[in-house]
Structure 1
Amino acid sequence: MPKALKNLIKFICFFGIGVLLIWLVTKDLTPAEWDQMNQAFHRANYWLVIPAVILGIASHWFRATRWKLLMKPLGHQPTTLNTFFAVMVGYLANLAVPRLGEVTRCGILAQYEKIPADKLVGTMIAERAVDMLCLILLMALTVLTQAEVLGSYVNREILTPIGNKIANANFVQLLILLLILAAVIGIAIWLLKKFARSKAAVTIKSLARGVMEGILSIGKMENKWAFIFQSILIWGCYLSQVYIGFYCLAETNHLGIPAALAVLVIGSIGMIVTPGGIGAYQTLVQKTLELYGINKVIGFAFGWIIWVVQTILVIVLGFISLIALPIYNKNRSQNNNTASAN
């Protein structure tokens, strides 16, 4: 199958999931709830978008400078602008097809900075591994600092319903459930043994090994503390964007850092699920804000406001970067030639 067709099918599938999630959330809204959402959009304080955009640009800039730190031990020092442009074009590509952006930004930097693509892929894997580690740590922090809120939700929505079903089940139903569970575990073990040496399994093992090596390589970096500090700055910008966003709506302006942390963590999962997070981000943000007493309509509206600001920023900066890349590098080449001549 041609790669372009495969990417198109991927996009349609993931985009379809996003549209389905939006439909599931909005299909039961009453006319009064639609009106409430419309009023929330009209009453929002959009002046606060300005500091949110500044923080968004800063987070992308820190990501570019952090990526440069990973290339330095390999003997390559690309310009910060080329690295920033590559990052933004990568984000733009991710809006079309999830994970396409990683390949795109490596290709751009390889083209304009003459860095071997395989080395760039290694740095990209290391960077993504660190981001995943940061997200896991933030998840743990969210659970530890908000055990009462999250614990009551899990107990109410998950543990209690399951407990009730088990309590009301008869012996035959429990036996069938145990047999199904045993069968699933048995099939999983059989599949793992049978396909342990398959191409897919080898690829997954190689990726996992690369991720682990990427994380461990941070400790060997000359500027590891600068790398850690910039990672904190990136996620700090993300958190600040959400927190400032709370003040856009009267219904959410009382929420604090803990709620912003929960929205950041759960919303980040939504950004991974569908292209640019469409549908998944808004839905997960809505469900998260319900834990803090925000009704579903306002929660959904808030999710859309944050998502639209982030997405427009990526689109604008992505297209500016596409235009700026050849112009910047042409001028850079001419300046280098002039300097050599002198």
Structure 2
Amino acid sequence: MMPKTLKNVIKFICFFGIGVLLIWLVTKDLTPEQWDQISAALRKANYWLAIPAVIMGLVSHWLRATRWKLLMKPLGHQPSTLNTFFAVMVGYLANLAVPRLGEVTRCGILAQYEKIPADKLVGTMIAERAVDMLCLLLLIAVTILTQIDVLGAYVHHDIYLPIARKIANANGTQLLLLTAALIVAILALLWLLRRFARSKAAITIKALAKGVMEGILSIGKMENKWSFILQSVLIWGCYLSQVYIGFYCLQETSHLGISAALAVLMIGSIGMIVTPGGIGAYQALVQKALELYGIAYVIGYAFGWIIWVVQTLLVVLVGFLSLVALPILNKKQSAAPARS
């Protein structure tokens, strides 16, 4: 079998390569004048306004740590808030290298320093991620429903009409082949599910799905479930505030309101999932979102880079400090009872 480290290196190269490819695709047709406009926008940006955005980012990470603790309490564990926060930040740092590696990393760190069984931590992490996915879906629904005039027109013209044209231009043979391919794919999937129903992979997937459902349902049984819901809302509120404050960094985006911030947060969150730390994907998607609100291509792209750099530097700096602080903090805590 392939060593785990080698697998992670290959994953990093693949995902990082996708990010670099996206950057190249977005910038390859830029003219020298457009490059000058992007540089000018970045030079004129008011970076002092990035400070409150950084503060909101730190608050969101701290809330994520305290919310995670609420999921551990019913299991009989109450880790220190600092250890939990440091584990969360190191997890974010690991995610910059390989997507989803951070979830495993932060569980391992907390298991090491708080002596909590790793399998229990993985269950709480799955529940937390499931809630975040529900929050993202809710954000998408609210954003589209409240801006049906802007986003609805975009979906209609840029997604629905191109697909409809391709279907309309397809001849009978192409449609027949497509239908046959779909039927074959469905039948093949059903056969695979039946054939490998008892395989290790299938059992793992079923257990994961069951764990997600149990994790979501367990939130309703929590003593502090309203605190959990409130902290989840505040976390996403902090994310939204970061984008909204960021608008004031550039004169060209300072007039944009909460509606545009919701759209950027929605589309940018998807970009963060695609590549490590959202590199390449985040900037391109944010530029596309701002284009819907009349923001020029170069300004939207520059804004995407400003927000991405602020968020990434925060994770890198605090993540490395957390990595250093963990053994120091826990050494002092373990030494204190020994001296007493």
Bucket of the pairwise TM-score, normalised by the shorter protein: over 0.9
SS of 1:144's equivalent in the other structure is helix
Residue identity opposite 1:227 in structure 2: F
Displacement of 1:195 in angstroms is: 3.4
Residue pairs, 1:82-231, within 5 angstroms: 82-231=83-232
Instruction: Report the equivalent of 2:46.
Output: 45
Instruction: Report the equivalent of 2:285.
Output: 284
Instruction: Report the equivalent of 2:325.
Output: 324
Distance 1:150 1:104, change over 3 A: same
Q: Take 1:184 and 1:159, find their aligned partners in 2: how far apart are those partners?
A: 24
1:215-267 C-alpha deviation (Å, 9 max, x unpaired): 11000001111111111111110010001111111121111111111111111
Distance 1:115 1:172, change over 3 A: closer
Instruction: Report the equivalent of 1:315.
Output: 316
Residue identity opposite 2:105 in structure 1: T
Q: Take 1:174 and 1:112, find their aligned partners in 2: how far apart are those partners?
A: 59
Residue pairs, 1:29-44, within 5 angstroms: 29-44=30-45
Distance 1:152 1:81, change over 3 A: same
Displacement of 1:100 in angstroms is: 1.1
Residue identity opposite 1:270 in structure 2: G
Displacement of 1:315 in angstroms is: 0.5
Instruction: Report the equivalent of 1:245.
Output: 246
Q: Take 1:192 and 1:36, find their aligned partners in 2: how far apart are those partners?
A: 54
Instruction: Please give the root-mean-square deviation of Cα atoms over the aligned residues, in Å.
Output: 1.5
Instruction: Report the equivalent of 1:7.
Output: 8
User: Which structure 2 segments of 5+ residues have no match?
Assistant: none
Q: Take 1:188 and 1:166, find their aligned partners in 2: how far apart are those partners?
A: 25
Q: Take 2:284 and 2:81, find their aligned partners in 1: how far apart are those partners?
A: 36
Residue identity opposite 1:285 in structure 2: V
Distance 1:126 1:171, change over 3 A: closer
User: Which structure 1 segments of 5+ residues have no match?
Assistant: none
TM-score, normalization by structure 1: 0.95
Q: Take 1:80 and 1:54, find their aligned partners in 2: how far apart are those partners?
A: 18
Residue identity opposite 2:207 in structure 1: S
Residue identity opposite 1:106 in structure 2: C
Distance 1:298 1:79, change over 3 A: same
Instruction: Report the equivalent of 2:69.
Output: 68
SS of 2:30's equivalent in the other structure is coil
SS of 2:77's equivalent in the other structure is coil
1:156-190 C-alpha deviation (Å, 9 max, x unpaired): 11222222333334433433443344344343434
Q: Which moved more, 1:328-337 or 1:181-190?
A: 181-190
Residue identity opposite 1:29 in structure 2: L
1:121-156 C-alpha deviation (Å, 9 max, x unpaired): 111111111111111111111111111111111111
Residue identity opposite 1:238 in structure 2: Y
Distance 1:51 1:201, change over 3 A: same
Residue identity opposite 1:60 in structure 2: H
Q: Take 1:179 and 1:112, find their aligned partners in 2: how far apart are those partners?
A: 55
Q: Which moved more, 1:158-167 or 1:115-124?
A: 158-167
The answer to whether the aligner puts 1:235 opposite 2:236 as a matched pair is yes
Residue identity opposite 1:198 in structure 2: S
Residue pairs, 1:288-307, within 5 angstroms: 288-307=289-308
